[in-house]
Structure 1
Amino acid sequence: MTLYRQLVIFTLGLFFILFAGTLLVKFESTRSFLIDQLESHAQDTATSLGVSISQYSIEDDMPAIESMINAVFDRGYYLIVRYMDTKGSVLINRELDVTIENVPQWFIRLVPLKIPEASANVMANWRQAGTIFVKSHPGYAYKTLWENVVHMTLWFLACGIFVLIAGGFGLRLLLKPLVLLERQADALCKKKYEIQQHLPKTKELRRVFEAMNRMTSKVKEMFDEQVTIAEGLRKHAYYDSLTGLGNRRYFENQISARLDRQDSATQGVLLLVQINDLHELNLQKGFQAGDELLKRVAALLQETTKQHENTVLARLTGGDFGIFVPDGTSWEAESLAETLVSQLNQVVVEQLALTDNIAHVGAISYESPTTLNRMLSEADLALRSAQQAGPNKWTVRNLTEETGKMPLGQQQWKNTLEQALAQRKIILFSQPVVNTYDRDKIIHLEIFSRIVQDDGKFLSAGAFMPFTERLCLVSTLDRIALEDVMQLDAAMLSVDRVAVNVSPASMHDDAFRRWILFAIEKLPTKAPRINFEFSELGAVQQMEKIKEFSAIARRHGHLVGLDHYGQSFSHLGYLQSLRPDYVKIDKGYTDELKDVDNDSRFFIGCLCSVAHSLDITVIAEGVETEQQWQLLKELNLDAIQGYIIDRPKPLLNKKNSER
């Protein structure tokens, strides 16, 4: 029962006690007064009647005496009027039946009245001629009592209704600060730090509000401290403080994780950019001039590569920068290298360098499985070739392996993808996500899309997804995959949830957004609930659209997760605004878990702590060894995913069986 109802009931209870007490006191005083009145009235009547008939008793004029008694009795205020002689014989007797009108019988039975009696002597000269006996009628007393009770009850009832309405309204006003306090506490549970600006005037409530505000501020400071520690560890381990880019460790980890990912494309572009004469610039103009040059170059590199999704950009050492474009093609490598050299010429115009020979770019593109060491070695050879070619030159080397299986040209990719989507040549694979402490407990299945090629082999999403986005086909692909997922039967899957990656670019498509909102609302009950996963970088860039979609999806029982958590250099405070249901730590950090003293372990622990403080589930992806699993258990991660559990396998369902 709410405090408001308790106070209302308590107030009405006090009012009822007051009413009952007042009624009882009033009733008793009225009854005593009426009994005294009846007794006085009977005595006065007996006395006056005795005196009046005394003169007729001398002559023994009984008709006259009877006439006087009848005149008094007929007024109706008496129950009995009796005239007796000195021997006790009744000479005249008038009695009236007790009938009380307009008074309920239950009230008469409940309130007994003692009916007073009175008598007076009738004298004949100096001797007693007889006795007159009078007994009052109780009807008047009962009527007066009943009317008083009714009037008092109606009056208190009216007052009670007024107290209920006015008191209820007043209590709501008095309890309004408690509602605000409840909302503040609820917001604190959701890790929303609201400070009450308008404090109540009531002294006790004001102290409670001030204490709640202090606690909220303290909890917010603790959360901000966690975020600061996590950011500090990440910057220390993976961040170049001068340029704001990643460092060499971050660069190599991201590339290694990408190369090890089985569902990614076996193609990409790596570029090495070397700034010339940086040492001489530091000697002639000081380190501040050199730092300004490096920061300007970093800004130009970021501006040039921002159109390429998931690009890894880092300062390797001194004036050397590295750029990795996953899923990039050979023609993109040439275009990007040429654009970089052209953009870097702005440094000459801004007079930040000593000479016009600003930089050289060496790039490699690969279309077959390779290693990081080979990529760096080949990129270094390309850089040396560019330096030998002259000032501000670039060179691209291609690491290819003839397969004849995959389309390499942009137009070939376009034709292949359009044909695959038109014929719905999409097959679903799945990989389980399990509880960290019970690997037999499946949390959900992550769904992967594959394109079936003409030779029957599968083309992974990592190979074709970049092209679907560049060719504006990604929303069509996402819709086909989701339509297939929505036709699954949760009972056959033995899980009630599946996770599907959705491109943030699809949220820009109005037609896709309208369709997905309608589809999740009409999703069959037998279908599994869907976890919509977005990449961290894409979700941060499209935060408002993702937040709007998340609110609608959760109302229908679905969840929203972030993939590759920690991959971007976005401030971790975005989690407080976006509030995903879970995050998946990027494989690049999982791969570094080798021993308890590894700083990636501390970084993952901080990432996990920040997420858990917001009631967000944390999942580690790319777990492949028992050692990684044990370390993740110690870090209190909620779930794991990777080859240590199972590899992605074709998902058997009606659509697959038809193929």
Structure 2
Amino acid sequence: MVVNRAPSHQTQRGAVSLRVILLLFTGALLLLVLAVGFVSSFGYFRSYVSEQLAEHAQDGATAVGLSLSNAIDGRDPVASASLIDAVFDSGHYQSVRYLDLNGEEIAGRVLPMSEMPTPGWFQSLADLDLTPGQAEVVQGWSRLGTVEVVSNPQRAYQDLWRITLGLVIGTLVIGGLGLLVLFLLLTRALRPLRALEQHAKALSQRNFRNRVTAQSTRELNQVTSAMNQMTDDLGRLFDGQGKLIAHLRRVNNEDPITGLSSQRAFDQRLKTEVESEERSAPGVLVLLQLAGFSEYNQTFGRNEANRLLSSMAKSIGAFVAAHAGSFAGRRNGAEFSIYIPGVLPADAKIWCGELLRQLDGLYADLATPMDVAVHAGVAPTGVERGIREMLASADEALRAAQERGDTGCVLSGPDSEGHHNLETWRAIISQAIREQSLVLWMQPMISEGQAEPVYYQVFSRLDGPEVALKASAFVPLAERFGLIADIDRQVVGKVLTHLAREPGRGLAISLGGASVASEAFRDNLLSMLSDAGEERVNLWVGISEHTIHHHRTEAGILVKALVRLGVPVLVDRFGVGGVPFSYLRNLPVQALRIDNTFVHDIDTHDDNRFYVESVLSIAHSRGVKVFATGVETAAEYSVLTELGIDGAMGYHLGRPFVADN
């Protein structure tokens, strides 16, 4: 199976560039003209030399004939032979023969052709016409015979050879200079085309910063100007669409005063985390409230009250950022909610106390001279415990904390609900890494109308003392302990081994934020992928949107390096990072994977449906695929396919299964 990926600009193998075509055509025409000129010149000189040889032979024959007729008795063979020897020894003739009326030779001399100094192939090529010169020998009124003279072609061949060499050298020099000048002219004239090609490639990779500045002919300059204008327009359009999506997300999911999640958005995500079978994992819910906020609002006014809420939200946001996978929201008034996944209730109570002391100090400074307090209730997740039960339990604990008066938090239920402390968890995870006992599970990413899955998402699970723990349970702890890079490295190694055994299957992994931020891990990952060979193109690497936001430079370096290796990259948990959409302009990712928060109950949630539809429109216009996770009902999948999703994953489409390790 070939993994589907977003179309990207690729060099067309076998295609010839315009410059090469023009160079070949014009160069061939130039060489043809020079060849015709050479052949014509050679033929002219050859004819000229042949005529000169014929005239020279005729002159020699006439002179010898007159001598035998008048000065010497042509009937005397000895005298005739002496005259012919004297003429022949001058070296100007190849043969001199005196024939009687019957054609019999009376006297004569002939020069062998083997003594010619020019190459034999050239003689065969030139093949000079050696027309003999003839003259009659008479005595009075009687004819004695005929003299035949053939000129020596040696000098003629030498002259023609020198002329030919001159023609060849001249043709090569003129042709070479002509081709060089032609190459330089075409290179200069077509320089913008190369720049336009690179510009088009940059556009296909959603890079709108490039501009073509090379100038050439009027037509190419107009095309260049149009391309630059289109780039500016696309950049503005992309920014506008990105800002629109960010605005829609803020309007639908963020509290306008604090910037935290709205109550509806928080409850929606909490429901996904707690009730979804795919995402369910241990965690705690914290409800937090500022005591005396109504009095503060009446005393200092609405603007100061809003400033207080904003300051509290910044501290809560810093707390959430320090705990991987956590998220927070404002419910109403001065009440906030925080969810921390993969944490023990006892540890959560300690962290909650630290946060309350920080908030209490900030609140007290702003509310002086009022007496203030901050209260919180903590409720853990549990089997068959939904969002309603958790909220009710946390609210009950909050009321208990408020009854105590002073700042503090109350944990609903016994403090011993956590079976292991942090050190025990650190030992369990470290042992799993050391013994390489992580188990790989897979879940298919299904595409409508495609027989085979787009890829299989790989999850890691840890064999705990009692039950196998999902990644959503132990990964936050591994992040906190600084062990996530070791887990990711082990998962990558096992996945590459699996790809080598089944090269036709596409697999996908998700990297932790600390792994992406680690230069050592990035170098190790790229080295492992380079050694994996061509099978690496079947591995999708997921990086969460939250990681891209907080480690923009490191994520950019890794994404570009992976793309150079041919490894497709997708943005994981898209939509919950709360970051601007514009980062996709400079990151050549192949896909987005929308978080299940926006998928859960999408068939009844119009805002989420509109958000997903908007993301699909923008992503597809940029050549980026969009996948969805957490599809657990037929109604959810029906809406996603109607919107044009490229792939979906969830318990409704295929349950996770153990990979062959």
Which of the five TM-score ranges fits, normalised by the shorter chain? 0.7 to 0.9
Do structure 1's residue 270 and structure 2's residue 280 form an aligned pair?
no
Alignment of 1:364-513 (within 5 A): 364-369=378-383, 370-390=385-405, 393-399=407-413, 407-418=419-430, 426-438=438-450, 441-455=452-466, 457-482=467-492, 484-485=494-495, 488=498, 496-507=505-516
Counterparts of 2:80 and 2:488 in 1: how far apart (Å)? Answer: 118
Which residue is equivalent to 1:618?
626
Contact kept, 8 Å, 1:76 with 1:137, in 2: the verdict is no
Alignment of 1:121-270 (within 5 A): 135-137=149-151, 139=153, 140-161=155-176, 168=183, 171-172=186-187, 175-262=190-277, 263-270=279-286
How big is the shift at 1:622? 0.9
Counterparts of 2:550 and 2:439 in 1: how far apart (Å)? Answer: 30
Secondary structure of 2:244 counterpart: helix
Tell me the amino acid that sits aligned with residue 580 of structure 2.
H
Which residue is equivalent to 1:657?
none
Q: What count of residue pairs does the alignment treat as equivalent? A: 640
Using structure 1 for the length normalisation, give the TM-score.
0.82
Counterparts of 1:147 and 1:435 in 2: how far apart (Å)? Answer: 77
How big is the shift at 1:333? 3.3
Do structure 1's residue 645 and structure 2's residue 624 form an aligned pair?
no
Counterparts of 2:469 and 2:171 in 1: how far apart (Å)? Answer: 84
**Which segment is superposed worse, 110-119 or 370-379?**
110-119
Identity across the alignment (%) = 25
Contact kept, 8 Å, 1:226 with 1:609, in 2: the verdict is no
How big is the shift at 1:471? 2.9
Secondary structure of 1:71 counterpart: helix
Tell me the amino acid that sits aligned with residue 481 of structure 2.
L
Give ranges in structure 1 of 5+ residues lacking alignment.
655-659
Contact kept, 8 Å, 2:132 with 2:151, in 1: the verdict is no
Do structure 1's residue 117 and structure 2's residue 126 form an aligned pair?
no
Counterparts of 2:444 and 2:644 in 1: how far apart (Å)? Answer: 19
Counterparts of 2:70 and 2:519 in 1: how far apart (Å)? Answer: 118
Counterparts of 1:185 and 1:270 in 2: how far apart (Å)? Answer: 51
How big is the shift at 1:203? 3.4
Find 1:607's aligned residue among 608, 615, 634: 615
Contact kept, 8 Å, 2:58 with 2:134, in 1: the verdict is yes
Which residue is equivalent to 2:3?
none
Find 1:342's aligned residue among 352, 358, 368: 358
Contact kept, 8 Å, 1:348 with 1:358, in 2: the verdict is yes
1:413-461, CA deviations, whole angstroms, 9 ceiling, x for partnerless residues?
Answer: 34544555556554443322222334x5223333333333445x32333
Find 1:315's aligned residue among 317, 327, 330: 330
How big is the shift at 1:590? 0.4
Do structure 1's residue 19 and structure 2's residue 34 form an aligned pair?
yes
Counterparts of 2:33 and 2:504 in 1: how far apart (Å)? Answer: 63
Tell me the amino acid that sits aligned with residue 433 of structure 1.
M
Tell me the amino acid that sits aligned with residue 618 of structure 2.
V
Tell me the amino acid that sits aligned with residue 625 of structure 1.
T
Q: CA 1:399/1:499 → structure 2, altered by over 3 Å: closer, same or farther?
A: farther
Contact kept, 8 Å, 2:95 with 2:111, in 1: the verdict is no
Contact kept, 8 Å, 2:570 with 2:592, in 1: the verdict is yes
How big is the shift at 1:78? 4.1
Q: CA 1:578/1:190 → structure 2, altered by over 3 Å: closer, same or farther?
A: closer
How big is the shift at 1:374? 3.4
Contact kept, 8 Å, 1:368 with 1:400, in 2: the verdict is no
Counterparts of 1:119 and 1:512 in 2: how far apart (Å)? Answer: 103
Q: CA 1:211/1:118 → structure 2, altered by over 3 Å: closer, same or farther?
A: farther
1:214-264, CA deviations, whole angstroms, 9 ceiling, x for partnerless residues?
Answer: 233333333223322322221221123343322222111111111123343
Q: CA 1:76/1:630 → structure 2, altered by over 3 Å: closer, same or farther?
A: same
Find 2:642's aligned residue among 630, 634, 639: 634
Counterparts of 2:167 and 2:586 in 1: how far apart (Å)? Answer: 61
Q: CA 1:436/1:122 → structure 2, altered by over 3 Å: closer, same or farther?
A: same
Which residue is equivalent to 1:356?
370
How big is the shift at 1:628? 0.8
Counterparts of 2:370 and 2:218 in 1: how far apart (Å)? Answer: 73
Tell me the amino acid that sits aligned with residue 638 of structure 1.
D
Tell me the amino acid that sits aligned with residue 499 of structure 1.
A
How big is the shift at 1:121? 9.0
Q: CA RMSD in A?
A: 4.2
Q: CA 1:368/1:494 → structure 2, altered by over 3 Å: closer, same or farther?
A: farther
**Which segment is superposed worse, 134-143 or 241-250?**
134-143
Q: CA 1:65/1:430 → structure 2, altered by over 3 Å: closer, same or farther?
A: closer
**Which segment is superposed worse, 215-224 or 272-281?**
272-281
Counterparts of 2:180 and 2:196 in 1: how far apart (Å)? Answer: 25
Contact kept, 8 Å, 1:575 with 1:611, in 2: the verdict is no
Contact kept, 8 Å, 2:88 with 2:96, in 1: the verdict is yes
Greater RCO, 1 or 2 (C-alpha within 8 Å, sep 6+): 2
Give ranges in structure 2 of 5+ residues lacking alignment.
1-15
Counterparts of 2:401 and 2:548 in 1: how far apart (Å)? Answer: 38
Contact kept, 8 Å, 2:81 with 2:107, in 1: the verdict is no
Tell me the amino acid that sits aligned with residue 172 of structure 2.
L
1:499-557, CA deviations, whole angstroms, 9 ceiling, x for partnerless residues?
Answer: 33432223456775565455445559999954443432124323443444455556666
Do structure 1's residue 566 and structure 2's residue 550 form an aligned pair?
no
Q: CA 1:476/1:325 → structure 2, altered by over 3 Å: closer, same or farther?
A: same
Counterparts of 2:183 and 2:160 in 1: how far apart (Å)? Answer: 33
1:112-155, CA deviations, whole angstroms, 9 ceiling, x for partnerless residues?
Answer: 5262636589898xx99989856441614444334322332233
How big is the shift at 1:287? 4.8
1:333-356, CA deviations, whole angstroms, 9 ceiling, x for partnerless residues?
Answer: 35334534533533554x5x5853
Contact kept, 8 Å, 1:341 with 1:359, in 2: the verdict is no
Secondary structure of 2:655 counterpart: coil
Counterparts of 1:454 and 1:175 in 2: how far apart (Å)? Answer: 70
Contact kept, 8 Å, 2:352 with 2:409, in 1: the verdict is no
Q: CA 1:285/1:186 → structure 2, altered by over 3 Å: closer, same or farther?
A: same
